[in-house]
Amino acid sequence: MLRTKTGIQGLDKALNGGFPEGNIVLVSGGAGTGKSTLCLQFIINGAKLFGEKGLYISTEQNEEELQKQASSFGWDISELQKKGLLKITYFDIGSGENFLKRVDEMVKSFQPKRIVIDSMTTLTDALMISGIGEKEPFSLVQIAETVSPIPRTDQIISKTILYSLIKEIKKFRLTTLLTSELYEEFTRLSADGVSEFIADGVIILHYIGAGAATFRTLRVRKMRYTDHEKSSLTCDMTPKGIEIKQQEFNL
């Protein structure tokens, strides 16, 4: 099977060689758990180590902010951009622009191998409020309103929007990371409680603090089409990015 390597040694090992190519993977975690860093690292490693083009779409940080985050880990984004291996785009959720149309255009013109959407939570929340696309041919809110026979609560509409979004993103057939906020009650794997079922894979990040001691963990909770490490892996946010600490795997 073809694999998309993350270039993060311990993670590739835990995934038995990388993400199965074309998988849509949800990266879920609370605030500051390292979702954006992991995604950025995935895209930058893809370009730098494997010569694969990567597209990073953020609804939360603009290009300058992502540059700043990357350079804090010593990653040179502009060099990869000049080589045509990396594209970073900020999508303003308040702009009223059709998200899927914009992504579709970028995928067609740039032809990336990997893609990141950071974050699904802000995106679906915004789609809920503004009904982006109501005047566009692709109206997610309209779809949500017509397909659901039960009373249309906000939650049902947001789930339907999310479902449609992920279904459309799947059509690109690219290895994709989507970030989702995870609230501190651990009963669900994403903020919406539905994307974990639609996505091919789920990675959960935790940042645990007890007094002055803190530690980070990463867990591959689900990964379709491959065996993977099931336990939580301890990791570190180092000056070079996320590193998985040396540990024995039961693969």
Beta strands 241-244 and 233-238 are antiparallel
The full DSSP string for 192-210 is SSSHHHHSSEEEEEEEEEE
Among 2, 32, 78, 97, indicate the residue that binds ligand ATP (CB under 6 A): 32
**Residues whose CB is less than 8 angstroms from the CB of residue 86 and which lie 6 or more positions away in sequence, other chains included:** 43, 44, 47, 53, 54, 56, 77, 80
**CB nearer ligand ATP, residue 66 or residue 174:** 66
| 164 is an interface residue for Mg ion by CB under 5 A | no
- Tell me the closest approach of the beta carbon of residue 120 to Mg ion, in angstroms: 11
- d(Cα 110, Cα 244) in Å, to the nearest integer? 31
Alpha-carbon distance of 215 to 234, in angstroms, equals: 7
103-141 b/e with 16+ CB inside 10 Å = b? bbebbeeeebbbbbbbbbbbbbbbbbeebbbeeeeebbb
* Residue 73 interacts with, from Mg ion, ligand ATP, none (CB under 5-8 Å by kind): ligand ATP
The site partner of 37 among Mg ion, ligand ATP, none (C-beta below 5 to 8 Å per kind) is: ligand ATP
Question: What is the x/- site pattern for Mg ion, positions 35-64, by CB under 5 A?
Answer: xx----------------------------
The answer to whether 195 and 221 are in contact (CB under 8 A) is no
CB atoms within 10 A of CB 89: 16
Does 119 sit behind a cis peptide bond, omega within 30 degrees of 0 on the bond before it? yes
Q: Which of 34, 46, 112, 201 binds ligand ATP (CB under 6 A)?
A: 34
Q: How far is the CB of 242 from ligand ATP (least distance, A)?
A: 8
Q: Which of 2, 49, 64, 72 touches ligand ATP (CB under 6 A)?
A: 72
Of 126, 114, 116, the C-alpha closest to 57 is: 116
Name residues contacting Mg ion, limited to 6-35 (CB under 5 A).
35
- Output 238 or 250, the one with its CB closest to ligand ATP: 238
Nearer to ligand ATP, 183 or 225 (CB): 183
Closest distance to Mg ion from the beta carbon of 98 (Å):
23
Pick the binder of ligand ATP from 10, 18, 20, 29 (CB under 6 A).
Answer: 29
User: Which residue, judged by CB position, is nearest to Mg ion in the bound state?
Assistant: 36
3-state secondary structure of 90: strand
Contact residues toward ligand ATP (CB under 6 A) are 29, 31-37, 60, 72-73, 237, 239
Binding site for Mg ion (CB under 5 A): 35-36
